[in-house]
Amino acid sequence: MTEGGAGNRAQAGRPESLDTGLQPFILVKYFSFSALGVFLIFTLVLSWIISNHARNVMLKQSEDYSLLLAGNLNQQVFRRFVLPAVVRYGRIALRNPEQFEYLDRIVNGLVQGLAIDSVTIYDSSENIISYSTVDELVGMRDRGGIEYEKALEGVANSRFIYSGSIWSLLSTEPNVSCQLKTFIPFRQVKESGEEGEAIMGVIEIVKDLSRDYTAILKLQSRIIMVSSVVMTILFLVLRTIVWRAGKIIEKRTVERLKLEEQLNRTERLAQLGTMVATVSHEIKSPLGIVRSTADILKKRITKLAPGNENLAQIIIDETTRLNTIVTEFLDFARPQEPKLQPHDLNQILRRAIGFIRPLAEEKTITITEDLGTETIYKQVDEDMIYRVFLNILINGIQATEGGGTVRVSVTRNEDGRAIVRITDTGSGMSEEMVDQIFQPFFTDKRKGTGLGLAIAHNSIERHHGEILVDSSEGVGSTFTIILP
């Protein structure tokens, strides 16, 4: 497999339960963001309510002003027109052009400069317009509506007619308009200035509030926009705080879970190691006696029954293999603390390659070295690192078919770390195997204890290093050892 390829990767010492342990905090972040979203929506609604209240206050002021103007108009028309007309003509007859023009001069003089669109006077006996500053309306019937009926009953009232909204301001030609129609009963006025009970008609005043309404909409949009910007900034600030806090808590959670996993693993291995050490120690002594006896037996058979020495040799070979297994058990059960001294990694690698080369030649496997000419000294335990290199080389040769290649290289990083790579062109491993490759007693071979890579992993950990493996089925594997 290529060293930077997209194969399966396993890193020593990473707990499998990290994602599960982080789920509660991720849930807290989701709730935090939901709360911030609700807060933002609530602020927008509050801004809308405030701006609507401001609009209602301004419109109410305009209504009060119109009612006041209408009352003043009632007083002036009665005093300046009704009384003089009755004295002069005997009765009110607006069909008389002279009376109409007289009333028109009075009304126009009163509303001049007050932004009044129209003043209309309805007859009290029927819903007909007797006078209006808009000539086309004079004589029209049934235009008063419910407001006219209320005014005849003595109740002054107003009605707003408006179109457009905040969204209308977004267009190039905003279609915004607003009219205030105020209806008051046209009453007689006593000498004291108080209004009498008799209702002579209904006065309607129409005032254009489009400019004020547009200003209100603009104020409303500014309030909402400013509130949105402020809350968005606040949301982003709080989100940044939550994100940073999340990173810190996530980091601490990962560290805690790693420590818990490592503690659990250490406890399990300690119990297993105690059992293995006890059994291995009890086996090692009798096994040595059996091997010594087989050596003596082989010498005697050679003298007494030549040609049968292979029977004793079988016993010697098997006891030697069993002794190797027992030694691995003891190395795993009683890991030694490394005795750190400066050693040349190239020299240790050449020693391991020299030992394993006969086995490689026997299987017609080529070992290539890319060690360079630089001497790379590191504080290591020579014997422990030698066994790590030897173990990985043996695994590579065993996984590689005849005619394959095992490549060994060593480099130094910019930060001074040494990186040793051992790559084979063997059968490779599946993702499931890669995840378990450093677990004790895991092996895919018919012979072997499954402790070789576990011991190598422990040895590199005791050197505060790191061991990684990249592997793809049918391509090969690359073991990477990083030493600080």
pLDDT above 70 covers what percent of the chain? 76
Decide which of 194, 221, 248 is a domain's last residue. 221
Residue 277 scores a pLDDT above 70: no
Query: In angstroms, what CA-CA distances link 139 with 77, 103, 108, 334?
Result: 20, 16, 19, 116
Per the model's pLDDT, the better-predicted residue between 19 and 255 turns out to be 255
Domain-embedded: residue 112: yes
pLDDT, the chain, mean: 76
Of the pLDDT bands very low, low, confident and very high (cuts 50, 70, 90), residue 49 is confident
Confidence of residue 373 (pLDDT cuts 50, 70, 90): low
Q: With respect to residue 325, please indicate whether it lies within any of the assigned structural domains.
A: no
**Which of 105-109, 202-206, 351-355, 454-458 comes out lowest in average pLDDT?**
454-458
Residue 322 within a domain: no
Q: Is the pLDDT of residue 10 over 60?
A: no
Instruction: Say whether pLDDT at 325 is over 80.
Output: no
User: 395 pLDDT exceeds 70?
Assistant: yes
pLDDT at 269 over 80: no
* 230 domain residue, yes or no: no
Residue 42 forms part of a structural domain = yes
Report, as an integer, the average pLDDT of 176-195: 80
Confidence grade of residue 13 (pLDDT, cut at 50, 70, 90): very low
Cα dihedral sign for 322, 328, 329, 331? positive
Residue ending a domain, choose from 221, 255, 272: 221
The stretch 17-31 carries a mean pLDDT of 52
Whether the per-residue pLDDT at 51 is higher than 50: the answer is yes
pLDDT at residue 372, rounded to an integer: 67
Clarify whether residues 204 and 348 are in a common domain: no
Residue 265 or residue 417, greater confidence: 417
In the prediction, which pLDDT does 480 show?
87
Could you list the residue range(s) of the whole structural domain that residue 358 is in?
337-483
pLDDT by residue (tens digit) across 427-448?
778 777 777 677 666 566 655 5
Asked, for residue 14, whether it belongs to a domain, the answer is no
Q: What CATH number did the domain enclosing 419 receive?
A: 3.30.565.10
- Number of structural domains (the chain) is 2
Report, as an integer, the average pLDDT of 185-200: 77
**Better-predicted residue by pLDDT, 237 or 23:** 237
Q: Which amino acid belongs to residue 259? A: L
pLDDT at 79: 84
* 117 lies in some domain: yes
Give me the DSSP letters along 368-421. EEE--S---EEEE-HHHHHHHHHHHHHHHHHHSPTT-EEEEEEEE-TTS-EEEE
**Are the C-beta atoms of 260 and 18 separated by less than 8 Å?**
no
CA dihedral for 107, 110, 116, 121, sign (positive or negative): negative
* pLDDT, tens digit (0-9, with 9 covering 90-100), for 134-149: 888 888 888 888 888 8
- Whose tokens are 């080389």? That residue is 393
Q: Is the pLDDT of residue 347 over 80?
A: yes
Asked if residue 41 is part of any domain, the answer here is: yes
Residue 36 confidence (pLDDT) = 65
Of the residues 221, 252, 281, which one is the last residue of a structural domain? Answer: 221
Triad 456, 457, 462: Cα angle to 5°: 100
Beta strand 405-412 with 366-370: parallel, antiparallel or unpaired?
parallel
Q: Are 316 and 298 in contact (CB under 8 A)?
A: yes
pLDDT above 70: residue 102: yes
pLDDT category, 53, cuts 50, 70, 90?
confident
The mean pLDDT value for 184-193 works out to: 78
Grade residue 386 by pLDDT with cuts at 50, 70 and 90.
confident
